[in-house]
């Protein structure tokens, strides 16, 4: 039986209260053993150190699952032959603090079942506290995937801040059940292709391009079951490549990011890499309307494309992503943004440093303006919260807990200056509207 171990970003802290509190070094060191016991236990014990986000799952979020008897001869990833024929008391979602601007790396675990989606920046990057990003990824993968087998690996598109950390995963994982990726030739992604996709495929991993999944060809399926209760519906955007050697269909490969909705019991989670609307492209290259096209293609399929509990903000919450057309369909109640803090010498629009890059105010404003949505969602940002864990039983609420920062950040705007040094725990439980970063940088 696979054990559930603690996730500890720094070995010096795990708080034992559900609400933020002042902590001294003596407080933090005394809570480590308790945290180990809690995370190795039940759902109730796991959430006892976490904050209630205030987000409740409701019936509108749910996607109905198929019910099937287990059949090892059925296609792998089908309802009858899930990647892991196991059950789980809760789902945990981790978003890793990034060692540089931009970057996405997510890890999902439901009991024995695990999913890794993107790996963030290159493994040789370091945090401000001088620990290596490689070690952070590898140690966490080994902690959460303690039998060395990853059930599903997802790579959304071939940008270095999404595939760069692949070596840490390779050194931590012996085998992968299935790989789903963007599915075309990319010079930038060749190291990932050779060292991860081909490496694990040669060891027996099933591999599917996203084009094959949404079109149900060459063994691809529109829905992949990781467990009988945990599955992903893959969403067509119209920008997936039919023939691998043709490369991306547009020059802005953000627009080619794969998209899907993960479902666990009544909980749903939308993800789309760096998908965005960028009709004019960059520097004379071709672009496309990724999000608008996604809604146009899937909008009538309300059995799977509907309100969600939670979403990963696309493209680190850039101004070109997370448009109102998409948000008015998904109506997320909780948003997680992955974006490493810009360096202090970054300058844009009269702002500097952490105030000058992603997340952009335009996207934040679209999230936080209720408009046609049921609610304005709670938003969490991993360069403010640190590496963040979200936990849900899939039926009731969503809980969260950040970690002490490994990156320092500094920024200025007309509202003043914001500064946090590595080791800070000021915002580990705060949504974005409760953070000094949001007030100073964007007047939120």
Task: Report which of 236, 240, 258, 260 is spatially closest to residue 248, judged by C-alpha positions.
Answer: 240
Cα–Cα distance for residue pair 367/331, rounded to 1 Å: 9
Cα–Cα distance for residue pair 165/85, rounded to 1 Å: 29
The model's pTM is 0.91
Q: Each residue's pLDDT tens digit in the chain (444 positions)?
A: 443 333 333 333 333 333 333 333 333 332 223 334 455 569 999 999 999 999 999 999 999 999 999 999 999 999 999 999 999 999 999 999 999 999 999 999 999 999 999 999 999 999 999 999 999 999 999 999 999 999 999 999 999 999 999 999 999 999 999 999 999 999 999 999 999 999 999 999 999 999 999 999 999 999 999 999 999 999 999 999 999 999 999 999 999 999 999 999 999 999 999 999 999 999 999 999 999 999 999 999 999 999 999 999 999 999 999 999 999 999 999 999 999 999 999 999 999 999 999 999 999 999 998 877 778 899 999 999 999 999 999 999 999 999 999 999 999 999 999 999 999 999 999 999 999 999 999 999
Cα–Cα distance for residue pair 432/425, rounded to 1 Å: 14
- What is the strand order of the sheet 113-119 is part of? 51-56, 397-401, 388-392, 91-95, 105-110, 113-119, 149-155, 175-181, 206-209
Residue 360: the pLDDT is 95
CATH T-level topology, domain 25-442: Metallo-beta-lactamase; Chain A (3.60.15)
Q: Find the angle CA(316)-CA(248)-CA(216) to the nearest 5 degrees.
A: 95
Task: Report which of 420, 413, 414, 422 is spatially closest to residue 435, judged by C-alpha positions.
Answer: 420
Q: Give the CA dihedral 117, 121, 126, 128, nearest 10 degrees.
A: -90
Cα–Cα distance for residue pair 71/336, rounded to 1 Å: 36
Residue 18: the pLDDT is 38
Beta carbons within 8 Å of 56's beta carbon, 6+ residues apart? 333, 396, 397
Spell out the domain ranges in the chain.
25-442
Residue 373: the pLDDT is 78
DSSP 258: -
The two tokens of residue 23 are: 């902590």
The two tokens of residue 20 are: 């933020």
Residue 227: the pLDDT is 98
Residue 39: the pLDDT is 52
Helix (H) / strand (E) element for 56: namely strand 51-56
């Amino acid at each position: 039986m696979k054990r559930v171990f603690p996730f500890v970003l720094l070995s010096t802290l795990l708080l034992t209260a559900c609400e933020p509190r002042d902590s001294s070094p003596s407080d933090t060191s005394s809570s480590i053993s308790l945290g180990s016991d809690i995370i190795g236990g039940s759902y109730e014990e796991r959430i006892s150190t976490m904050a209630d986000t205030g987000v409740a799952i409701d019936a509108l979020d749910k996607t109905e699952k198929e019910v099937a008897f287990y059949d090892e001869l059925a296609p792998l990833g089908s309802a009858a032959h899930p990647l892991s024929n196991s059950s789980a008391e809760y789902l945990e979602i981790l978003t890793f603090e990034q060692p540089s601007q931009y970057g996405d790396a997510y890890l999902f675990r439901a009991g024995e079942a695990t999913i890794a989606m993107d790996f963030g920046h290159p493994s040789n990057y370091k945090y401000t506290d001088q620990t290596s990003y490689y070690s952070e990824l590898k140690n966490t993968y080994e902690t959460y995937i303690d039998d060395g087998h990853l059930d599903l690996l997802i790579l959304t598109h071939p940008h270095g801040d999404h595939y760069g950390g692949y070596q840490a995963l390779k050194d931590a994982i012996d085998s992968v059940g299935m790989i789903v990726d963007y599915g075309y030739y990319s010079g930038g992604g060749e190291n990932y292709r050779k060292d991860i996709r081909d490496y694990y495929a040669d060891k027996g991993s099933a591999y599917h391009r996203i084009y094959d999944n949404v079109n149900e060809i060459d063994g691809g399926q529109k829905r992949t079951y990781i467990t009988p209760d945990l599955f992903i519906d893959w969403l067509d955007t119209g920008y997936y490549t039919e023939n691998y050697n043709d490369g991306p269909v547009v020059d802005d490969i953000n627009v080619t990011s794969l998209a899907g909705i993960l479902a666990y019991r009544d909980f749903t989670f939308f993800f789309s890499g760096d998908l965005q609307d960028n009709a004019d492209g960059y520097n004379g290259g071709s672009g496309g309307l990724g999000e608008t096209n996604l809604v146009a293609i899937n909008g009538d399929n309300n059995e799977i494309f509907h309100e969600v509990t939670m979403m990963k903000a696309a493209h680190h919450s850039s101004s070109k992503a997370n448009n109102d057309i998409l948000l008015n369909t998904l109506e997320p109640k909780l948003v997680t943004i992955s974006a490493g803090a810009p360096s202090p010498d970054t300058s844009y629009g009269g702002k500097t440093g952490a105030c000058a890059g992603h997340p952009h105010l335009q996207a934040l404003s679209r999230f936080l303006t209720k408009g046609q949505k049921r609610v304005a969602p709670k938003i969490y940002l991993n360069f403010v919260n640190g590496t963040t864990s979200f936990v849900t039983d899939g039926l009731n609420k969503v809980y969260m807990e950040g970690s002490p920062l490994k990156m320092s950040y500094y920024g200025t705007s007309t509202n003043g200056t914001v500064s946090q040094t590595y080791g800070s725990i000021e915002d580990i439980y705060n949504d974005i509207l409760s953070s000094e970063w949001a007030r100073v940088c964007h007047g939120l």
